[in-house]
A and B are shown apart, each in its own frame.
Chain A
Amino acid sequence: MKSTHVLSAVAIAAALSGTTALAQDGEGLRIGYIVNYATHEWYQNVILGMEQRAEQLGHTVEVIDANLDMARQVAAAEDFMAREMDVIIMTPVNEEGVVPILRRARADGVPIVLEGNPAPGMQTVVAICDYDTGYLAGVAAGEALGADAEGIRVMNVGLPLLSATILRSRGFMDGLQTVIPSAEMVHDLDGGGNPDRSQEVSAAALAADSDIDVIYGINDSSALGALQAWRAAGLPEDDLMVVGTGAEGLAFLNEMQTEGPYQLEAAMFPEKIGFTAIDTAVALFNGEEVPEYVISPTTALTLGEVSSYYSYDGESREIQWDAVNALEAPEQCMMYASDL
């Protein structure tokens, strides 16, 4: 029995030293990711991208869900630090709430990569440019409608609670107006980012004024909820264009494939964000110089272009890494939250 314990201790020590030796070479890293809301499709795909990239590079990723609870996120970060994870990636539940953890990590020499939202005292954040995402979709929508289109009326199903989603809506209108200057926002709604709320507020707005040419949703759920409100009102779909944002999961693919009004998707490629977060985490661990803002690319996709970036069999989707990795990310965003 005693010899078994000794053998086990030796084995654990060997395993730990092996891990450390590997980690020192920048290989076999133990990366901890604290996601803020793992049940959302978006984050499931972020995690998928992380796991795929980590496997390619020979690292392991452990995920803890904070489930929108700041206290749980702090506890998870402390747990990862106590277990001496090589790098930590976090999607902050609250930007201010992670500041003490960032401070402590810096003091302890633990590299932390933020995902999504920047926070004071951070080393680096991997994120998309929200304004640019909306802007590119707005330009694409304008081009699809034609520069000579007049009096284009837009219903924005937004989320004014978050600066990121305000930037998307503003970017969309600015992009659209660069092609069609007379385009105007008729309804500016708070759909809460979820489909049932978006459906409800859109139904009331459409009852007030249904003379709408374009529906823009700050995420796929918002766009789809508004589209369902349009259908419930019995309005004709022939001249309507719906533009969603995110490429979060299967819902937009499902709808686009019906070749109905859902014609454009401002794709943000969550898998690519996960991929980039792992690359950034490894670079940070290796002591390489990493920019404060690492931008993940986005682009506007039509039905004809979607299949180049995602294969879809009706049940699941698979990202096409070659096409997504070929997209160029801008060096800096056109507008940041601080510009609002």
Chain B
Amino acid sequence: MRDLTDDDRSGALLRRVFNSEYGFLVVVLTLLVVGLSLAATNFLTPSNAVAILHQSSLVLIVAVGMTFLLITAEVDISVGANLAFASCVVMDVINQTNSVALGALAGIAFGAGVGLINAFVTLVLKVNSLIGTIAMMMALQGGVYLYTREAVQNHHQIEIFPKIATGFILGIPVPVVFAAVVALAGWFYLARTRGGRLVFASGANEAAVRLSGYSPARVKFGAFVMTGALVGLAAVILASLLNAGQPTAGTGFELTVIAAVLLGGTSLMGGRGTILGTVLAVLILKIIDNGIIMLRWNQDLQIIVPGLVLILALYMDQKKRGPAHG
């Protein structure tokens, strides 16, 4: 029997890091933080950390829902268009009722309603969710201009409204608090409850779930509606952040969200994924975005990098699933 050489050991370590659930993400995150700290003097500052967390929060809120959806082997491409439309609904309802609570509820209800329709199209009409939600995206992109031809301005001037996006609780930006609560709740449900195990099972083996007396369709239905509702919550924050409902917002948002979820280790084929992986991946993408500006590199890279990350994530997903899965 041959003794292990240093090369064998380092190769095995690399393989273990790449195959462990979070090892690769932690390594990338660490390399990014160390590299950018050395390259940009202002990177490792409290204000930049707050800015990165702030920028991550909108993506993370929706990415939690998308993680559930992808684990059940479904996807929602309409989240960006839903976000824009829902932000207009939020501002419009607040303008008309002078109530932030009603506006927020309307936005969340609108988002959930879109999720409900997506679920119906996918699970009842049996349209592939990729195609069905692309159709929904087109309908929403056109529909928002029937709803409003221009950005819905803040006519209510309620003092607390801008604080939803720009306020702080114990030094932490409010959107980060929202995102943390959503991520914690998502993690708890997926990792610690029977419902969470059903989510995994519905993506991994629908037939087995059915044989166990549960309905995978019901689980997927819930995942679609939850993703929509979280888009609605993100829309409340977006409307507050931009101080307007923006029909043009959310362009490319769905790609960032999906790239983050896949990079986080959630399988495109369903049955596998974690909220912690998604959190780490969102941070990686946003740190890359932030680093490009810090280093004063060409900002076109901010569009190119998520694309490259998506390819990397899919390649890693394939490797993890082994050659049998192609």
- Which residues from chain A sit less than 8 Å from chain B, CB to CB? 39, 41, 44, 189-190, 194-196, 199-201, 203-210, 224-225, 228, 231-234, 249-251, 254-255, 314-315
Contact = CB atoms under 8 A, between A and B. Distances in A.
A236 to B, nearest CB: 13
A208 B51 CA distance: 10
B242 A204 contact: no
Which of A196, A228, A231 has the most chain B CB atoms inside 10 A of its CB?
Answer: A196
30 contacts: A39-B149, A41-B150, A195-B244, A195-B249, A196-B238, A196-B241, A196-B250, A199-B241, A199-B242, A200-B289, A201-B299, A204-B48, A204-B51, A204-B294, A207-B45, A207-B48, A207-B52, A208-B42, A208-B48, A208-B294, A209-B42, A228-B166, A232-B166, A232-B241, A233-B47, A234-B166, A250-B151, A254-B153, A254-B154, A255-B243
Question: Dominant SS at the A interface?
Answer: helix
B319 to A, nearest CB: 32
B247 interface: yes
A167 to B, nearest CB: 19
Given A204-B289, A207-B48, A315-B155, A195 B55 contact: no
A199 B250 CA distance: 12
Contacts of A209: 42
B23 interface: no
Interface in B30-55: 40, 42-43, 45, 47-48, 50-52, 54-55
B24 to A, nearest CB: 25
Best-buried of B43, B54, B293 by chain A (most CB within 10 Å): B293
B294 A228 contact: no
Nearest to B292: A204
Q: Among the interface residues B54, B243, B251, which one has the most CB atoms of the partner chain A within 10 A?
A: B243
A204 to B, nearest CB: 4
B166 to A, nearest CB: 5
Contacts of A255: 243
Contacts, number: 101
B162 to A, nearest CB: 7
B242 A200 contact: no
Interface in B283-306: 289-290, 293-294, 299-300, 302
- Residue from B42, B45, B55, B154 having most chain A Cβ neighbours under 10 A: B55
Nearest to B247: A39
A195 to B, nearest CB: 5
Chain B contact-residue range equals: 35 or more
B155 A231 contact: no
Contact of B55 (A41, A44, A200, A315): A200
Given A204-B51, A251-B244, A194 B251 contact: yes
A41 B149 CA distance: 7
Contacts of B251: 194, 196
A207 B52 CA distance: 9
B122 interface: no
Interface string B291-325: 00110000110100000000000000000000000
Interface string B220-261: 000000000000000000100111101111110000000000
A231 B151 CA distance: 20
Contacts of A204: 48, 51, 55, 289-290, 293-294
B165 A207 contact: no
Given A39-B149, A44-B149, A210-B47, A203 B246 contact: no
B203 interface: no
A36 B107 CA distance: 31
A207 B51 contact: yes
Contacts of A249: 150-151
Contacts of B290: 204, 207
Contacts of B51: 203-204, 206-207, 233
A328 B145 CA distance: 35
Given A201-B299, A228-B243, A234-B166, 5 more contacts: A194-B249, A225-B242, A228-B165, A254-B153, A314-B155
Nearest to B155: A314
A205 B165 CA distance: 18
A196 B80 CA distance: 12
B168 interface: yes
Given A208-B294, A233-B50, A234-B166, A224 B242 contact: yes
Given A204-B289, A228-B241, A233-B51, A195 B246 contact: yes
A200 B253 CA distance: 12
B186 interface: no
Contacts of A199: 241-242
A225 B54 CA distance: 15
Contact of A232 (B54, B246, B247, B300): B54
B65 interface: no
A205 B299 CA distance: 12
Contacts of B248: 39, 194
A255 B153 CA distance: 10
Contacts of A206: 47, 51
A146 to B, nearest CB: 29
Nearest to A200: B55
A187 to B, nearest CB: 8
The 9 closest A-B pairs by CB, nearest first: A207-B51, A207-B48, A204-B293, A190-B299, A208-B42, A232-B166, A41-B150, A196-B249, A204-B290
